[in-house]
Structure 1
């Protein structure tokens, strides 16, 4: 029995340790996966901690020796604290969905959801317990093809094209997907689960590549995205896609490049933008980094722009999407976690306000428990909500 008591205490400590990251920001990059992952699986942690709490209570009642009873009481207290911490996202879930629904309806209209065949493949609810446990189903009937093309300076790049195995009767809408990685790392293979998920709904998803800083500073990345978009327009007939029904989606640095490319005065026309936690105002991001700052934001921006806002003010302005806000921009869905310690969420809120003030269609989806890159946990509570509204936003923009 003594071993059971000590095991119960150890498990209670483990549950508390994991649950702390639901509310405590990661101070270093090495700990960031805990800060990202714990909130996303918090419903499972809640169940685990609840079971440990009940088990500790049962053990305490079976103990006659004061020492073991005291250990059991400690396990009860630890598990109760863990229950309270891990319950935070679930308590925030109903109001989060209400706000998201209101924002979608205000921007897109009361009947923004589709009612045809496409809607049958959508998520039925913003959050599904079963998907958290088993994973979000991704149909296998998706073809992926790697295509080489050249960057603006001739450097070889590679895109990945995802299409449904059974081509629709009409040309497909196309989504250009741009990965993140602080403009320093990554490749077009990233976000494969997301890209396959959308391709299974009848879109062609083309994951673009770009050159990385510091070897290739800005504007190389923007030029490469523009070259990729131009290639999509040129190959539209060969690939069976409708180049006029083009949307851009990006994550972090990729979201920055997506909005920057779409906001340019001479941009290739796009129907919509989806920005997952994208940087908006780079000069202000340098001057006001997050606290804690696990990736060293100032070093990242210095690599990207080869200097500081004081030494290269024109480059910081040119590289900031907020610089180009004006009437007539594409409809934009902005998705940010309120606990983001890589890209501060107030920048997304600032972009949303300026877009709306300039009579643009914009939706802001805020996830109060979520860290940066929350959707890396594809089955997680935050990604489930983001997918639910992203698929409906894209259908409204390019599905028709």
Structure 2
């Protein structure tokens, strides 16, 4: 069984739902996983590189910050598809050490997996900055494809929670100048995985009890700062909410998407991933969504619910992820 990830060091800044509405499965698949049947680990030797600086950015106070990544890959010289992992953290932190066991499993499955830091609200960042950072990381990794043993024509994004939001937003905004530097290559991403990410932030509690819904309706949160409107409740900033919503940029030309969400997610309403999934399908894009029966918001053991991360590291759930990546990135499929 994988080790339990380290608990977060910050106090949870958002309400935890007491009730969650049953998920809408009209366009999604219910996945009833066995949490005792866990993903495999250790069958393949891995090489690792840590704290690689991929960019240096200037913060609003004039300070300079180095952005770093950690990379894992099976030992050997073969060029492999690249999976860029984007950690969660409520847009308040971005710890590239997160989800190590899951990243190791994906790497052992035949991928270079790079866990990437991106700027968040304590850096004075907005969603535009986070997406630009991801694109800078992609450009760096492609530039050093020989060093990392990367097949630069086979790249996917995989994010959890806030990282899922950033992954989805990066995947749908390719070529838009407000989301990338002109010097960064476009058309880099061939697949996107969004695990329990937010999307339309003003609706983040729509599946929850009234107290949670009222909190977001009347109070500003760190999400408002991430939208570039600190101190403003969502009803006052609808344009900013829409600008950060991946669904607003859905077209038929975006890469294939895989969404996963827990039916009992107490922090991000399950309908958040469905919102983007439906927009992509309506636009003619390739999108698949799974709802994990009984699963919460990733590993929320820090809320006093030990073992909640096990459905997400089950063989069944991780098999969905690695299967999607192989179908979309393997050379025989391109």
- Band the TM-score falls in, shorter-chain normalisation: 0.7 to 0.9
More helix by share: 1
3-state SS in 2 of match to 1:349:
helix
Where relative contact order (Cα < 8 A, 6+ residues apart) is larger, the structure is: 2
1:238 to 125, 133, 147: 147
Q: Map 1:153-164 to 2 at 5 A.
A: 153=58, 155-164=65-74
- The structure that has the greater radius of gyration is 1
Q: Distance in 1 between matches of 2:105 and 2:244?
A: 31
Q: Map 1:222-261 to 2 at 5 A.
A: 222-261=131-170
Comparing 376-385 with 191-200, greater Cα deviation is found at 376-385
Gaps of 5+ in 2: 1-10, 19-24, 59-63, 176-185, 302-306
Q: Alpha-carbon deviation of 1:138?
A: 3.4
2:269 to 338, 344, 357: 344
3-state SS in 1 of match to 2:247:
helix
Change (3 A) 1:392 1:201: same
Name the structure 2 match of 1:327: 252
Q: Alpha-carbon deviation of 1:230?
A: 1.4
Q: Alpha-carbon deviation of 1:283?
A: 3.1
Name the structure 2 match of 1:301: 223
Q: Alpha-carbon deviation of 1:197?
A: 0.9
1:255–1:278 CA contact under 8 A, matched in 2: yes
- The answer as to 2:173 corresponding to 1:264 is yes
* Deviation per residue, 1:346-389 (Å, 9 max, x gap): 12222222211221111110113111114985972343132011
- The answer as to 2:106 corresponding to 1:202 is no
* Deviation per residue, 1:56-113 (Å, 9 max, x gap): xxxxxxxxxxxxxxxxxxxxxxxxxxxxxxxxxxxxxxx9xx9458xxxxxxxxxxxx
Name the structure 2 match of 1:59: none
- The answer as to 2:320 corresponding to 1:389 is yes
More strand by share: 2
TM-score normalized by structure 2?
A: 0.74
Q: Distance in 1 between matches of 2:150 and 2:123?
A: 34
Name the structure 2 match of 1:144: 48
Q: Distance in 2 between matches of 1:356 and 1:143?
A: 38
Q: Alpha-carbon deviation of 1:278?
A: 0.8
Q: Distance in 2 between matches of 1:369 and 1:127?
A: 11
Q: Alpha-carbon deviation of 1:390?
A: 0.7
Q: Alpha-carbon deviation of 1:333?
A: 0.5
Name the structure 1 match of 2:6: none
2:224–2:233 CA contact under 8 A, matched in 1: yes
- The answer as to 2:88 corresponding to 1:180 is yes
Q: Alpha-carbon deviation of 1:303?
A: 3.1
Change (3 A) 1:322 1:136: same
C-alpha RMSD of the superposition: 3.1
Name the structure 2 match of 1:290: 208
